[in-house]
A and B are shown apart, each in its own frame.
Chain A
C-alpha cells in the first residue's frame, strides 16, 4: 500500500443554474491574457449538447484518454511513445481554434471616433487572432440552454451513442423533458493521459495534493497534451507557444482556500476535500477490461482515513497529520464513498478523474410535475426514475460508461432524501422504510441533506494548508513566481492585464519575441493580491513611504 493524497472536487449538478459565474471568475483570474482568449479552464456546458470544444467527447476523432492494448495494458489512445515521437511535427489529432471558437472583440473605437453622420455608428466584431473583421459563429457556450435546437444536439457524442439504440421520436420527447448544466474543470486525474503523452515531461502530477500542472519552463509546445486529455482541458497558448491548464488554483489551495470557481459559485454546489488513495492500485484499476467496472475499480483505490492501518501508512509516506484529519472530515469522501451519490465523469477514458458529480434529480421531478403528478411523492419519484429510461441512459453515458445501475442508485438516494426531509418539514410521521429502501439510515439521510442542501461553507470546503519549511522561493534560481513570464499565467504587466483581453488586436506579432527580457520590473516588490488571504494589510500594497528629509 502506497498512500497518496489528493484534493478532489464534487459538484452537485442539481443546484447548477448555468449562470457561468465560475467560468467568468476563473477567466478573470487565469486566462484574461493574449494567447488564451479562447481558453476556459472552467466552462459550463448544457447537456445534452456539443460541449466545448465542440464534440470533445468523440474519442474516435480526438483520441484522448487511454485504451487497452492487445495485452490488456493501458496505452494512450493517441498512440504510444514511438507514434507520439513520429507525429512530433504535426499532431494529426489537434483541435483547431475553430473547434473551440475564434475569439473576437468589437471596434469600440468607431463608436467614439466616427464622424457626424445620419447613421448610428456600430461596433463591428473583429477577430482577436488575425485582427480582421469576422462573423461571430461560435462561443464557449454557443448551445447554452439547448440554444440552436436539434441540429446542435445531434452532434452530442453521448446522445449519438444512445440514439443508436433509440429512435428519433423518443429523442425529441426527451429533449423537451431533460436539460441540465455541467460545469467542467480539469479532472486532475489519478492516471492523467495528458502527462503520459507529454514528450518534454513538462506536465506532472504533484505528490502532495495530486494537482496536475504544466511546468512552463519545461514545456516546449509539442501540444500532445491537448490531444491526450479526453476532456480537452489542456489549452495551447498561441502567443507563448506553451500548454496551459486549470491549476486547481493551487496558490489558493496551498493556503487552505477553495478554488476561485468554488469560492464564487452562487449555487454553492462545489465541494472540496482530501481523498487518500492507494497509488499501487491505480494502474490495476485503470486496466480493468470492462469499461463499466471502472467506476467500482476507482472506488476501490480510495482508502478509509478512519482505518488506523491506513492512517499509519499515510504518516509513513509523509502525508502531514492535518491532511489525514482533513481526509476524515472530507465532504468529497462522504459524497463519493459514504453516500455514493457522486459519480466520475466519463470513467471509460481510464484516466481516473478526480472531479465527481452528483447527478441531477431535478429534471426528473420537473418532468413528473409537468405530467400532473406530485413530483415529490416518493412512490411516483422512484417509479419515474426507473420509467424515464432515457435520462438514465444519458446520465450513465456521462458518468458510468453506460451502466445505469449506479446512476439509478444515486438518484434514488437523492429522492429518498427529499421524501424523508419532506416528512420532517411537514410534521408527518417518519418512515424508516424510505432510508432502508436505499440502503441508508435516517441519520445518514439527514447528514446528506445537511451537506447537500444547507451546504455550509466550512463543510463544503475542507482544505488543509500546505506548508513547507523554508519554502520561500525554494528550487528557483531566480526569485519570484515561476509563472511571472511575459504572457505567462501569472503575468500582470501592461500587456497581460485584464485590459489586454478586451483591447483591439495590436498590430504586429505577439508580445513575446525571442530573447526579450522577462518579468514586469515595474511590479517588482509589489504585492500580488492573488495570494493575499484577505487578512491584514499586505506588505508592498502601497509604494514605500519616502523618508521625511526628501
Chain B
C-alpha cells in the first residue's frame, strides 16, 4: 500500500505543468525586482573580454545572435496558433520544413557559440578564475536547455510531433490562467524535459549573470551622444 493511494500521475502532471510554471514566473519577476532594488550594482555582463578576446570575438556574437533567432522561433511556434498560419495559406508540412531548417540551423549555431564560450571559460586560466558560483550553476543549465531543445527539434525528423497542437496550446493556456495540463502531459519526453529545464533556468535567471539580458541598452539608439547630469542625481537633457 502506498501512503497516499489517491496520489496519481495526474497530480504530478498538475504540479509540473499547472503549478511549477507560475512558481518559476513568480521567482523570475520577484527575484528580478529584488535584485534591481537591492543589487543594481550587480546588473552587469561580467565580461571577461579583457582576459581573452580571440575566441570571444567568434563565440560571443555567434551565440547571442543565434539566440535571438531561437527566441524568435519560439515566439513564432508557441504564440502563433496553427489555425492562423493555416488561414494565411501555410500548410502544416511547409511550416514544419521551415521551422526545422531555420530552428535547426540557429539552434546549431547557438550551441556552437556556447560551446566555444564554455571551452574558453574552462581552458583559459584567467577566464576560468573569473567564473563565479552563479556561473557554475547557470551555464550548465543553459547548455542543457539548449541541447534538449535542439534534440527535440532533431527528433521531429524521425518521430513527427505537432507541438503547435500540444506544447504551444499548454504554453498559451498558462496566460489565460487555465493551464491545459493534458496537452503537455502527452508531449514527448524531450519536449517535457526541455520545458522543465527552461522553467528552472527562468527561476535561476535573476540570481546570476543572466540579468544582463534585462539591461539591453535599447534607449541608446535614441539618446543624444553626450549625457549631462546634475550633482543632485537626475539626468538632464
Counting CB contacts under 8 A, is A468 at the interface? yes
User: Which among A192, A209, A475, A510 is the interface contact of B132 at CB below 8 angstroms?
Assistant: A510
Taken together as a complex, chains A and B put the C-alpha atoms of A216 and B40 apart, in Å, by 9
B217 touches A222 (CB 8 A): yes
Counting CB contacts under 8 A, is B47 at the interface? yes
On chain A, the residues within 8 Å of B230 by CB distance are 206-208
On chain A, the residues within 8 Å of B86 by CB distance are none
Contacting chain A: which of B52-60, B94-102, B151-159, B178-186? B52-60
Counting CB contacts under 8 A, is A82 at the interface? yes
B217 touches A207 (CB 8 A): no
B223 touches A201 (CB 8 A): yes
A513 touches B219 (CB 8 A): no
User: Which among B47, B126, B226 is the interface contact of A223 at CB below 8 angstroms?
Assistant: B47
Interface size on B, residues (CB 8 A): 57
Counting CB contacts under 8 A, is A33 at the interface? no
Taken together as a complex, chains A and B put the C-alpha atoms of A373 and B215 apart, in Å, by 65
Taken together as a complex, chains A and B put the C-alpha atoms of A509 and B35 apart, in Å, by 21
Taken together as a complex, chains A and B put the C-alpha atoms of A323 and B212 apart, in Å, by 41
A196 touches B225 (CB 8 A): yes
- Residues facing B in A130-161 (CB within 8 A) are 130-132
Counting CB contacts under 8 A, is A191 at the interface? yes
Taken together as a complex, chains A and B put the C-alpha atoms of A475 and B215 apart, in Å, by 22
- Residues facing B in A178-225 (CB within 8 A) are 191-192, 195-196, 198-201, 203-209, 215-223
A205 touches B226 (CB 8 A): yes
Taken together as a complex, chains A and B put the C-alpha atoms of A519 and B46 apart, in Å, by 19
Counting CB contacts under 8 A, is B115 at the interface? no
Which of A207, A223, A239 has the most chain B CB atoms inside 10 A of its CB? A207
Interface size on A, residues (CB 8 A): 65
Residue-wise, chain B 22-46 has the 8 Å CB interface mask toward A (1 for contact) of 0000000000000100111111111
Which of B129, B130, B219, B234 has the most chain A CB atoms inside 10 A of its CB? B129
B220 touches A221 (CB 8 A): no
Taken together as a complex, chains A and B put the C-alpha atoms of A214 and B57 apart, in Å, by 26
On chain A, the residues within 8 Å of B44 by CB distance are 219-221, 240-242
Q: What's the least CB distance linking B232 to chain A, in Å?
A: 6
User: Which among A81, A89, A514 is the interface contact of B220 at CB below 8 angstroms?
Assistant: A81
B227 touches A475 (CB 8 A): no
Counting CB contacts under 8 A, is B11 at the interface? no
Return the chain A residue nearest B128 by Cβ.
Answer: A130
Q: What's the least CB distance linking B142 to chain A, in Å?
A: 14
A514 touches B134 (CB 8 A): yes
A90 touches B208 (CB 8 A): no
Contacting chain B: which of A91-99, A112-120, A393-401, A527-535? A91-99
A207 touches B133 (CB 8 A): no
Counting CB contacts under 8 A, is A380 at the interface? no
B232 touches A468 (CB 8 A): yes
A205 touches B126 (CB 8 A): no
Given contacts A89-B64, A131-B129, A510-B130, are A200 and B46 in contact (CB under 8 A)? Answer: no
On chain A, the residues within 8 Å of B125 by CB distance are 130-132
B221 touches A82 (CB 8 A): yes
On chain B, the residues within 8 Å of A163 by CB distance are none
Q: What's the least CB distance linking B226 to chain A, in Å?
A: 5
Counting CB contacts under 8 A, is A236 at the interface? yes
On chain B, the residues within 8 Å of A466 by CB distance are 231
Return the chain B residue nearest A97 by Cβ.
Answer: B50
On chain B, the residues within 8 Å of A89 by CB distance are 60-61, 63-65
Residue-wise, chain A 65-86 has the 8 Å CB interface mask toward B (1 for contact) of 0000000000010000110110
B41 touches A518 (CB 8 A): yes
Given contacts A241-B47, A509-B132, are A514 and B226 in contact (CB under 8 A)? Answer: no
On chain B, the residues within 8 Å of A240 by CB distance are 41, 44
Taken together as a complex, chains A and B put the C-alpha atoms of A89 and B220 apart, in Å, by 15
Counting CB contacts under 8 A, is B3 at the interface? no
Return the chain A residue nearest B212 by Cβ.
Answer: A220
On chain A, the residues within 8 Å of B207 by CB distance are 514-515
Taken together as a complex, chains A and B put the C-alpha atoms of A516 and B234 apart, in Å, by 27
A217 touches B40 (CB 8 A): yes
Return the chain B residue nearest A95 by Cβ.
Answer: B50
B235 touches A90 (CB 8 A): no
Q: What's the least CB distance linking B151 to chain A, in Å?
A: 25
Q: What's the least CB distance linking B202 to chain A, in Å?
A: 16
- Residues facing A in B67-110 (CB within 8 A) are none
Given contacts A92-B57, A241-B47, are A515 and B233 in contact (CB under 8 A)? Answer: no
On chain B, the residues within 8 Å of A509 by CB distance are 129-133
Q: What's the least CB distance linking B95 to chain A, in Å?
A: 30
B56 touches A195 (CB 8 A): no
- Residues facing B in A446-495 (CB within 8 A) are 466, 468, 471, 474-476, 485, 488
Return the chain B residue nearest A282 by Cβ.
Answer: B226
Taken together as a complex, chains A and B put the C-alpha atoms of A425 and B58 apart, in Å, by 68
User: Which among A192, A236, A510 is the interface contact of B47 at CB below 8 angstroms?
Assistant: A236
B231 touches A513 (CB 8 A): no
Which of B48, B128, B229 has the most chain A CB atoms inside 10 A of its CB? B229
Counting CB contacts under 8 A, is A129 at the interface? yes
B46 touches A513 (CB 8 A): no
Q: What's the least CB distance linking A132 to chain B, in Å?
A: 6
Q: What's the least CB distance linking B201 to chain A, in Å?
A: 14
Taken together as a complex, chains A and B put the C-alpha atoms of A96 and B207 apart, in Å, by 28
Taken together as a complex, chains A and B put the C-alpha atoms of A290 and B36 apart, in Å, by 47
Q: What's the least CB distance linking A467 to chain B, in Å?
A: 10
Counting CB contacts under 8 A, is B192 at the interface? no
Q: What's the least CB distance linking A391 to chain B, in Å?
A: 35
B47 touches A221 (CB 8 A): yes
A513 touches B134 (CB 8 A): yes
Taken together as a complex, chains A and B put the C-alpha atoms of A515 and B43 apart, in Å, by 10
Counting CB contacts under 8 A, is B10 at the interface? no
B50 touches A236 (CB 8 A): yes
Q: What's the least CB distance linking A474 to chain B, in Å?
A: 6
Return the chain B residue nearest A242 by Cβ.
Answer: B44
A207 touches B212 (CB 8 A): no
On chain B, the residues within 8 Å of A85 by CB distance are 217, 220-221
User: Which among B42, B52, B58, B228 is the interface contact of A204 at CB below 8 angstroms?
Assistant: B228
Given contacts A510-B130, A514-B207, A514-B208, are A220 and B217 in contact (CB under 8 A)? Answer: yes
Return the chain A residue nearest B56 by Cβ.
Answer: A90
Counting CB contacts under 8 A, is A238 at the interface? yes
B133 touches A518 (CB 8 A): no
On chain A, the residues within 8 Å of B131 by CB distance are 509
Taken together as a complex, chains A and B put the C-alpha atoms of A81 and B129 apart, in Å, by 33
Counting CB contacts under 8 A, is B194 at the interface? no
For the complex of A and B, list the 4 residue pairs with the smallest distance between their C-beta atoms, beginning with the closest.
A475-B233, A199-B217, A196-B225, A130-B125
Could you give 20 example pairs across A and B, Cβ below 8 Å? Answer: A81-B223, A82-B221, A89-B65, A92-B57, A94-B49, A130-B126, A200-B215, A206-B230, A207-B230, A208-B230, A209-B231, A221-B44, A471-B232, A475-B233, A476-B233, A505-B129, A509-B132, A513-B134, A514-B42, A518-B38
Q: A198-B220, A219-B44 are in contact. List 12 more A-B contacts (CB 8 A).
A: A85-B221, A89-B61, A94-B53, A195-B225, A199-B220, A204-B228, A207-B229, A220-B44, A223-B47, A510-B130, A513-B132, A513-B133
